[in-house]
Amino acid sequence: DTGVSQDPRHKITKRGQNVTFRCDPISEHNRLYWYRQTLGQGPEFLTYFQNEAQLEKSRLLSDRFSAERPKGSFSTLEIQRTEQGDSAMYLCASSPGTGVFAEAFFGQGTRLTVV
Amino acid sequence: DQQVKQNSPSLSVQEGRISILNCDYTNSMFDYFLWYKKYPAEGPTFLISISSIKDKNEDGRFTVFLNKSAKHLSLHIVPSQPGDSAVYFCAASRGTTSGTYKYIFGTGTRLKVLA
């Protein structure tokens, strides 16, 4: 399978714990995005990488959230001191690094439940 | 500030008929528009896109129309099939002006195609 891969698919954690999600983009895709989706809403932009450089972060991304993309390949999203409001589907997407107009391809997401 | 709006949360259409899903946007700087389809517990799947230099793009049963003066786009599905039943999201980006290529999503329209 050469699509975007996310791990784990589901995560249940207790409030206050730290969690880390991993995303493996489509090979050779330079752009990588993290989105969050809650029930009844569309995906909300969290952050965006061009290769290893994090070019933009949403105001939604509080200081408890951090994302990395070392070496411009896979990416991790860490949430520290989780809160119940962090419960959501976390989506990763990637797109080619060339051209202005390019669609993003999404992974199947990581469903986070904070209890 | 919802820059991309899908005002119809749901739509029901008879199999074989046309489905028309609508999307409005407020930012005139958007230059690329996409439609995604999403099944429960999966990530969004790219359907079709259109750049701001065009007013129509067609791919099989799917056609996207863009009316820049009205800041409106629509997705036509003809003929509609039961397998098209899903949530449809429109998204927009302004890569040529912002350089970050992030996508802003609407809240989605749930399409149900009745057999």
**Which pLDDT tens digit goes with each residue over B43-97?**
999 999 999 999 999 999 999 999 999 999 999 999 999 999 999 999 998 866 6
d(CA A42, CA A34): 13
- The verdict on a CB contact (< 8 Å) between A103 and B95 is no
- The verdict on a CB contact (< 8 Å) between B102 and A107 is no
Cβ proximity of B111 and B87 under 8 Å: yes
Q: Judged by CB atoms within 8 Å, which residues 79-108 of A form the interface with B?
A: 91, 93, 95, 100-108
Cβ-Cβ contacts under 8 Å for A7 (sequence gap 6 or more): A21, A22, A24, A110
pLDDT at B98: 60
A interface test, pick of B102, B104, B107, B109 with most A CB neighbours within 10 Å: B102
pLDDT 10s digit of each residue in chain A, 115 long? 579 999 999 999 999 999 999 999 999 899 999 999 998 899 999 999 989 999 888 887 889 999 999 988 999 999 999 999 999 999 999 998 666 677 899 999 999 999 9
